[in-house]
Amino acid sequence: MKSAVIVFPGSNRDHDIAHALKTVTGQDPVSVWHADTTLPDVDLVVLPGGFSYGDYLRSGAIAARAPIMRAVAEFAASGRLVLGVCNGFQMLTEAGLLPGALMRNEGLTFVCREVLLETVSTDSPFTRNFAKGDVWRCPIAHHDGNYFADADTLARLEDTGRVAFRYARDTNPNGSINDIAGILNEGGNVLGMMPHPENLVEALQGGTDGRRLFESIAGAFAAA
Ligand SMILES: NC(=O)CC[C@H](N)C(=O)O
């Protein structure tokens, strides 16, 4: 499985994601600079976590208008896989590739801790290796993770199995509506999530709970 990680000025989890992909798939992803306008021939594009453009204006807002994002939008429209983690999720909503918005955390502070996630939808290439209702550990680190969508959008997400992950057992760290931690686009080929599964893929990191997400993606290609 070939992948690319887009690097923006201020990205800080690009190496973490690259390490997770290498650990699980055995292949190093290609690094693509935000100012590039074309993507290499890959199966998966990742928008990593961090503080792109210093979070100026709104987290992810400037990155969503970076030159590479036109190619990312076309890549997503062709049905290929796009994963946005944390700042990457913020970029996906700002770019209109996922609905809703990520507002300032309810407590108005940066939150860096571990939460519990419940897998809600297993019907996507990103979640196929999970069981519905699985509860797993995942680290978070953000100040703008408070997911919000209007009532119609929320109903559509809930009714069509597009909520991928929810904060479980009262661990919602940011006030996200319906405890939403990650959502899918209509085609199921774009996933945005605030928590960082790339930081829990090997024992040295304190556990391997995040590994299944990368194994799901890799498995989707092995099965194809
Ligand atoms: N870890 C991250 O990706 C941080 C995301 C974003 N800059 C925030 O703090 O909300």
Residue to mutate, 52, 87, 89, ligand 1, most ligand atoms under 8 Å from C-beta: 87
Q: Does the beta carbon of 141 lie inside 6 Å of ligand 1?
A: yes
Does position 24 have pLDDT exceeding 90, yes or no?
yes
Which is the closest atom of ligand 1 to the Cα of 55?
Answer: 7
Q: Does the beta carbon of 166 lie inside 6 Å of ligand 1?
A: no
158 among known catalytic residues: no
Tens of pLDDT, residue by residue over 25-35, are 999 999 999 99
Tens of pLDDT, residue by residue over 123-143, are 999 999 999 999 999 999 999
86 among known catalytic residues: yes
The Cβ of residue 145 has, within 10 Å, a number of other Cβ atoms equal to 28
Task: Give the residue whose CA is nearest to atom 5 of ligand 1.
Answer: 87
Q: Does the beta carbon of 59 lie inside 6 Å of ligand 1?
A: yes
Q: Which of 86, 138, 142, 143 is catalytic?
A: 86
Contact 168, 139 (CB under 8 A): no
Confidence of residue 204 (pLDDT cuts 50, 70, 90): very high
Topology of domain 3-223, per CATH?
Rossmann fold (3.40.50)
Continuous segment of H or E residues that includes residue 108: none
Task: Give the residue whose CA is nearest to atom 3 of ligand 1.
Answer: 49
Tokens representing 117? 């996630």
Tokens representing 80? 């290929």
pTM for the full predicted model: 0.98
Q: Does the beta carbon of 16 lie inside 6 Å of ligand 1?
A: no
Q: State residue 223's pLDDT score.
A: 62
Q: Please give the Cα distance from 138 to 128 (Å, whole number).
A: 18
Ligand 1 center to 222 CA (angstroms): 32
* Helix axes 14-25 and 211-223, enclosed angle (nearest 10): 50
Does position 190 have pLDDT exceeding 80, yes or no?
yes
Q: State residue 102's pLDDT score.
A: 98
Contact 46, 29 (CB under 8 A): yes
198 among known catalytic residues: yes
* pLDDT above 90: percentage of residues in the chain: 98
Query: What is the average pLDDT score of the chain?
Result: 97
Residue 89's φ and ψ, nearest 5 degrees, are -65, -45
Q: Does the beta carbon of 118 lie inside 6 Å of ligand 1?
A: no
